[in-house]
Chain A
């Protein structure tokens, strides 16, 4: 009844991917920002200590009797202790000439007093951070410039950076996880509204085509209003088609009845055997048309009702008894008798109009094929399922066709001489299917057919 729609992509996936992708980019950005900022701070820390150390050395420089004295304070190198025991290199230059320390370091020359000059370089295969500062000393008749260069390896800094990177990574991952979780939640909440709408559409009764009244988020309002207008049109067209069926039944049946009664009356008046025969054929043809029209309309009506099955509690025995009473006159015209057997009361929840229609078709069939002076037996029973069986003493079903007889407009090979449209068993079959039951055709052991409607 409902074909699955063509699916292209998923709104949920698209939302989740967009949000998570954004979160990943933000987390990376956070990681790199925090790391580079912290790295700058850490480098600043090392630079400050180096600067302080150089300053304290420069402070200890003095001219004594024209000779330069550098009394390096113990604290100057002590403050360079790091957890990683970084190596320390220093050099003291007087007017650009190495006075003391490591010759691996070089003088920078020409810098103003006291200003720290930082640079990174390599000494003895190790990357170092180097600071230089100089000071001009003026003594009696002398003027000399002292420069102190101080370098330190960066093992402790590298270790600090590793820790910072690790923490920044944890921060980034934490942020990402949080946002990913949030985006899943937000997506579910959004899609949840759609699911709610879907559920309420699915749960609706078969004939409930009234518009949705429950509040929905603003974004879904256009969808709901389109849905409402579609259902409004559907409701209208359904009721039109119901009207059409009723109208058509009325319009076709009434004139046919009139024609038949005229044909009957004419038959009484006509003497000539030739003409009488022609009129009888006419009456037969009219009967056939009338019956076919009735069954076509029945079938249309049943198709409609089966699509919108409405169940109610009914007593199948009462329903069949009523039908038997109405059909008894027709049976008697054919010299047949109808008997109702089985359980006194069988309660079943189904559509009474459909079931009555189905049983009438079953009895009709039996009446058509049963030989004169025979009994058509109708049994209503409550076993594991409610069952209605109609048994006749006619020729039975041709065994080779027993499976195909329920197709639309299909008639048994032995039915050539009988009036019928081929819709009777199809209608019964449709009713059985609509109620979740089955139609079982069997031949009786002695003679005759058995049609069982199992609900």
Chain B
């Protein structure tokens, strides 16, 4: 079975590679100045205001914005770093490993706090918690779960109502999903129990937050676990159907990070762009701003070498096996 899964994963991965990009857009195409190539895991709609703000200040620059999943992004940057100038991703561990492996260019005298950067080469500019998002309709007449434990109880109470209607990241495909899962597993054993319960309900696996929220909105799933709160909030506006729950037992909060690729053609422009992200402020909306460490109510995943731990081949294999054992029940 393991070989079968591996085969599927490989096929899925190659399929993802085959299609060019999730989204691809050129801003300010008419400009005859340098063209900054940004590879990012953030949806264009969320990121466009930031790019436009940057282009207002640098009218002679054009930006090519390429969107793909976090894992694919990591693979592309590793195989062809020269094809990009700036790398933006929510998978902190993969980003840190890129920086640790020497793909990033160190930048000096950057704004921002020390804890929000690593090795002067990786810079955090948002702070986004993982959330449980539910379709209110599925919980009509029932209490809305506020913790993982309550979610487990709710799922167990009405298994038939939720069979095939629960979704989460496929952590084999999504770098961010893997980061959230590993950090959850570090934080509490509840994570594994939840995975087992969800696995028993024909859990549906997704590559990206966007797809999950689409299915939630359409009602094809009722609960999504570890969705990016920011994406959900962006969609929730005007959509009464969804409710974003930040679990009150513990939250896993990641920071979206940016780096300038080493040997970029336009180091000055790329640096200016990263600087723009760090100081952007309200322009980030709906992406949440970084808050200072004292104001943080929940622990944020720290930018430290420990993020390399779960990326270790053996460790990753062990974790995925455990996860598959819990989630894929046949």
Contacts and interface: CB of A to CB of B under 8 A. Distances in A.
Contacts of A77: 304-309
B119 interface: yes
A88 B305 contact: yes
A74 B309 contact: yes
A78 B314 contact: no
Interface string B293-308: 0000000001111111
A16 interface: no
Contacts of A71: 314-315, 318
A100 B313 contact: yes
A87 interface: yes
A100 B312 CA distance: 7
Nearest to B119: A85
Interface string A65-106: 000111111111110110111111110100000011110000
Contacts of B303: 85
A73 B315 CA distance: 9
Nearest to B121: A85
B205 to A, nearest CB: 25
B313 A80 contact: no
Interface string B171-189: 0000000000000001000
A87 B119 CA distance: 8
Contacts of B307: 77
A72 B312 contact: yes
B53 interface: no
Contacts of B314: 68-72, 92, 99-100
A432 B90 CA distance: 108
Interface residues of A, number: 28
Contacts of A86: 119, 305
Interface residues of B, number: 22
Determine which residue in A74, A80, A89, A90 has the highest number of CB atoms from chain B within 10 A of its CB, and name it.
A74
B34 interface: no
Contacts of B120: 85
A446 interface: no
A198 B285 CA distance: 88
A106 B128 CA distance: 39
B318 A69 contact: yes
B102 interface: yes
A80 B318 contact: no
B100 interface: yes
B306 A78 contact: yes
A76 B306 CA distance: 7
Contacts of B305: 77-78, 80-81, 86-88
A89 B311 CA distance: 13
B118 interface: yes
B309 A70 contact: no
B108 to A, nearest CB: 13
B318 A74 contact: no
Contact of A124 (B102, B117, B312, B315): B102
B119 A72 contact: no
Nearest to A123: B102
B121 to A, nearest CB: 8
Interface hub of B100, B120, B306 (most chain A Cβ within 10 A): B306
Interface of B: 100-102, 114, 117-120, 186, 302-309, 312-315, 318
Interface of A: 68-78, 80-81, 83-90, 92, 99-102, 124-125
21 contacts: A69-B318, A72-B314, A72-B315, A74-B186, A75-B306, A77-B307, A77-B308, A78-B304, A78-B305, A81-B302, A81-B304, A81-B305, A81-B306, A85-B120, A86-B119, A87-B100, A87-B102, A88-B308, A90-B308, A100-B315, A101-B312
